[in-house]
Chains A and B, each alone.
Chain A
């Protein structure tokens, strides 16, 4: 199939409205396989305007006698309006955008064509392989090994090739444990907390089913987890479903760990919202934020009705629970829900941010996202197929990753010095997770990425972001390394709506950017005074 087949009209005269603040643009609209361009004409001073078609979430078209208006709602929550001359042309363009923005084929997507100057293919892809994190763990403890049991993705299709497992458990046992876990996601190491000698482990639910099946190898694996931790360590299983939901899961072959089968482990249920209800919460919130006739006196009630902040609170407090278990009580923690690819990752990644100072650095956070979300098999392609504007009934969409970013933002707000990165990085990750010229967030798992040769044929977002010119808007100028755990206040009174994201396109250009710039200036000045005595950046993670 050729893109040109889908392009009914390639060009038209149009006016673009970009919201109340930006002035409208006039010019020639061009449609290519991946982009919508507006060329302002030779005499105009403004630059070429460009939109990745993949970032269009929904299209609305209206026609008048001799023109048409297309409203494009983007996945980054922007709303754009195109006024196009000619009814036919506008309808054709709308249909073309519709077709091109919803192409499902991965290998014809833009990242496979994107060849920016200054970047080399293959750069930074091996920046954060599991081997790299294992080296760090191996320096801290001898109880874990790197297993390549999943080398060909046959044991668990959503795991990476290499995973970190207890040294005393052999690959055969792992494979059998995998058969006892949904999707083959047997318990693997997520994080080793060296100060307390405890570990964070994640998996999917055990397939106990109505007959309460057991699996000796799975039990052995969890026993080995405790045996490898500090002497006398107990374990907590944080199930991200309610105990009722966990029980019900048995009817469909799932379930949860039976007390008697896993001595030393105690189960805690911390239900987190997921899937469709979470997506609906996101949609309602975006709707409320974008409502032009905001009935002002019910805004707070409406915000509460969206439940988004309640989800943020639950996610953060569950992560605190897991982190507290390790740091304060010296216990090992296993986190899982059902599939172990959504709220499980939310909890494990947040718990690491709370405990691990390295994960709060620029490189460390990128490594965390790569390791705990991308390689851990969060199905980005399914979850982020649509953002909050799609009219289609959500199937697999859920803003779990966005919820994670929001929680990180809340942490950054409460600990303004402790994160090396700023809001800019979180906004960039949100945008790129939903639509990106880079390959990093493509596909649902390492296996799919291998099949599509994503690594060799697309550029990594990390190499894009780590270019010097991007740094100023991504980093936190006030960062000062903090060796301690950061315990957030999870009360609703301490949480805020993330205005920088949800009201980003509604509020006038933010003066906070001015403040940001000022701090940068001060910091840059400081660095200049230090030029004579170059020091190693404290932010380099010692992995």
Chain B
């Protein structure tokens, strides 16, 4: 895509339009760097149709910045944009050290080649344009890099054909062209490889070097005992056990587990032998009123011969009996039926009717990590660097990404519905119980329990169902690991966050957090700046003393909560959310998946949020004034205006005009 195709006219045009008035002007000064060339110029799709456009291609600045990670200093830099002093212009975290810098040509897929200087530290790759008419800045944590390739050779001809092509985990690629003489790129390649993939070079992951200080300690957010106490546990039927204190029962489970009161520790050990990787059924969530539960585990080790295990069968019955009212335990196997059958060949399987009389098994048809990985790859193919133009919707359909989202949500809705109706307790598993199982239990809990829809509640949910129960973040993301083609990698957590986003779209008042919160979580899922998502399980994290040696992502978020708040949020207790999981009501998360493309960039969310925040501030002011009046004894004014007529459903006109 050449520069001519997107004349800077568009940039100005878009900048002017995107700004939403007065606020926009202020916004432009502060955030000009974030604004891209804007809407595709409607007239120049066909080039010759709008003759004026090409003439104006020499118009000024196209400001555009590809960073999205939270970093205030960047905004400051891009505003003045002239100060070339390294120490002032390149943002640096405490503990971040400079490695090298180099002049390169950044081959921007949207604006063409741009000359710039790239600064590499042990945490990030930072590029600033050296061209006077461009304020482009790239700020990419090295953790985001999944693959570095050399393009072109010493003899390559053609402009900008020699350099590096960097594939990122966050739906983009970065290409840099370098001078051909003197092995100039070997340096950069070696340094990037070293610091982007520290594991292969016996270097520490940056999180262990990060010396950031926050006034809140995110590691204290999740305390399992407190969380279970909040759920009313232990109670008569459920106890907290420390049997896994040293991770001896199950090395991928947390130390603290909630199990049926009537099951002894010996029972648990015997059940563990019959469950894949000893991941026995344990409680995830209990309904505060009807006391039905969500229990999670891995597949039973049935195998080809159809083995049975009396202890496991009895254990499941004990779980069922924790609630006297129910006659059947519902088992949701997240996999497609055929996959569950196929797993028998490798020793796994599912609960048969014969062995488990008091259980009903349903398959949820959610595909495995490999299918999800390929699906996301197809999404990237149609959105980066160029968005598929001609058959956008059918191309999107053929990625099946939204269909997978739909199946995950549908599964979670079924789990939530069973539990909320009080008809049955639910046991959820897939193969190992750390991917699809985590998606289903955490989404169902999000639907059932409004606590998890607050900022801290959501952090606890992620910390509990994902991090402590051994979703293999290290393997799925590949932190600091150079094996980009590792079959263990898969966007399972991203898919979960996408589901949460879909829910937040459908219930705009139900969540305390906003879109930026979710995107920030995803950015730091890869960045390696925080210890939160490192390693595969709690035991490994404990061995590495992660909580002592690294900073938690929740420290960053909780010390600046206002930025992540949804101003629409209305706290509601006991409201169960059932999202509509039909394809018609799901949409591609454009602000995440296509965020690098400046042409797709929609109205900046900032002015909207800014406006909400202003309104909220005014309301607070009002409430405060009201309280003052009340104190002053003005009883008449004491009625807060919180009871307007309910939302008037948009009834057809004839109803109101009789």
- Whether A324 touches B42, Cβ cut-off 8 Å, given contacts A114-B657, A526-B619, is yes
The CA of A266 and the CA of B53, in the complex, are separated in Å by: 14
Q: Give residues in B with beta carbon < 8 Å to A.
A: 9, 13-14, 16-24, 38-43, 45, 49-52, 56, 383, 387, 389, 391-394, 396-397, 402-403, 406, 506-510, 568, 570, 580, 582-585, 587-588, 590, 594, 599-603, 607-608, 611-612, 615-616, 618-619, 621-623, 625, 641-642, 644, 646-650, 652-655, 657-658
In the complex, are the beta carbons of A520 and B397 less than 8 A apart?
no
- Whether A511 touches B641, Cβ cut-off 8 Å, given contacts A416-B603, A489-B40, A492-B392, is no
In the complex, are the beta carbons of B392 and A304 less than 8 A apart?
yes
In the complex, are the beta carbons of A481 and B387 less than 8 A apart?
no
Chain A 234-289 residues near chain B, CB threshold 8 A: 266, 268-270, 289
In the complex, are the beta carbons of B583 and A297 less than 8 A apart?
yes
Kindly list chain A residues whose C-beta atoms are within 8 Å of the C-beta of B49. 268-270
A418 to chain B, nearest CB (A): 6
Closest to A357 in B: B21
Interface residues on A, range: 35 or more
Contact of B653 among A289, A437, A522 (CB under 8 A): A437
Contact of B622 among A415, A436, A506, A526 (CB under 8 A): A526
A378 to chain B, nearest CB (A): 21
In the complex, are the beta carbons of B39 and A489 less than 8 A apart?
yes
Closest to B12 in A: A328
In the complex, are the beta carbons of A299 and B21 less than 8 A apart?
no
The CA of A478 and the CA of B508, in the complex, are separated in Å by: 15
Which of B17, B402, B621 has the most chain A CB within a 10 Å cutoff? B17
Total contacts A to B, CB within 8 angstroms? 240
Type the 1/0 row for A505-517, where 1 means its CB is closer than 8 Å to any CB of B. 0111101111111
User: Which 7 pairs from chain A and chain B are nearest by CB?
Assistant: A317-B42, A487-B17, A482-B21, A304-B393, A300-B397, A299-B583, A320-B42
In the complex, are the beta carbons of B38 and A489 less than 8 A apart?
yes
Closest to A521 in B: B644
The CA of A486 and the CA of B21, in the complex, are separated in Å by: 9
The CA of A269 and the CA of B43, in the complex, are separated in Å by: 10
Contact of B397 among A301, A487, A497, A523 (CB under 8 A): A301
A113 to chain B, nearest CB (A): 12
Q: Give residues in A with beta carbon < 8 Å to B.
A: 35, 48-52, 55, 74, 76, 78, 114, 116, 266, 268-270, 289, 294, 296-301, 303-304, 309, 316-318, 320-321, 324-325, 328-329, 331, 413-418, 424, 427-428, 431-432, 436-437, 464, 472-473, 478, 480-494, 496-497, 499, 503-504, 506-509, 511-526, 528-529
In the complex, are the beta carbons of B24 and A525 less than 8 A apart?
no
The CA of A509 and the CA of B618, in the complex, are separated in Å by: 29
- Whether A489 touches B602, Cβ cut-off 8 Å, given contacts A509-B649, A517-B646, A522-B616, is yes
A413 to chain B, nearest CB (A): 8
The CA of A153 and the CA of B393, in the complex, are separated in Å by: 47
The CA of A366 and the CA of B287, in the complex, are separated in Å by: 52
The CA of A529 and the CA of B590, in the complex, are separated in Å by: 38
B413 to chain A, nearest CB (A): 13
- Whether A473 touches B13, Cβ cut-off 8 Å, given contacts A300-B583, A331-B52, A523-B615, is no
B623 to chain A, nearest CB (A): 8
Kindly list chain B residues whose C-beta atoms are within 8 Å of the C-beta of A294. 582-584
Kindly list chain A residues whose C-beta atoms are within 8 Å of the C-beta of B21. 417-418, 480-484
Closest to B399 in A: A300
Kindly list chain A residues whose C-beta atoms are within 8 Å of the C-beta of B615. 478, 519, 522-523, 526
In the complex, are the beta carbons of A484 and B24 less than 8 A apart?
yes
The CA of A321 and the CA of B43, in the complex, are separated in Å by: 6
The CA of A491 and the CA of B396, in the complex, are separated in Å by: 14
In the complex, are the beta carbons of A414 and B652 less than 8 A apart?
no
In the complex, are the beta carbons of A431 and B653 less than 8 A apart?
yes
- Whether A490 touches B40, Cβ cut-off 8 Å, given contacts A300-B396, A485-B16, A509-B649, is yes
B42 to chain A, nearest CB (A): 3
Kindly list chain A residues whose C-beta atoms are within 8 Å of the C-beta of B393. 300-301, 303-304, 309, 492
**Can you list 13 A-B pairs with a CB-CB distance of less than 8 A?**
A116-B657, A270-B49, A300-B393, A473-B650, A482-B20, A487-B16, A487-B17, A489-B40, A503-B585, A514-B509, A515-B568, A526-B615, A526-B618
